[in-house]
Amino acid sequence: MEAIRANVEMSDIINGLIKATIFGFLLSLIATYKGYFTKGGARGLGIATTQSVVFANVTVILADYVLTSLMFSK
């Protein structure tokens, strides 16, 4: 616990919470969009789910890069 107190700053926690909130919003937005426009029954649902996962992964990687650049550029 002492090592955590010595090495973790409040800005690390705040930045983590901001990132988690933005990632959650982006994932919800992507999944909702893909689910809303799904057609073709069970097959279409499987395709939409796969696309959601792929788009979400790419989006999180890009958003993480941008957010880290903005948060840690001092």
pLDDT in tens, 9-67: 998 999 999 999 999 999 999 999 999 999 999 999 999 999 999 999 999 999 999 99
pLDDT attached to residue 73: 78
18 CB-near residues (< 8 Å, 6+ apart): 67, 71
Q: Which domain holds residue 48?
A: 2-71
Closest among 38, 70, 68 to 52, alpha carbons compared = 38
Number of domains observed in the structure of the chain: 1
Residue 42, sorted as left (phi over 0), alpha (psi -120 to 50) or beta, turns out to be: alpha
Alpha-carbon span 34 to 59, nearest angstrom: 14
pLDDT attached to residue 55: 97
pTM recorded for the entire structure:
0.83
pLDDT for residue 72: 84
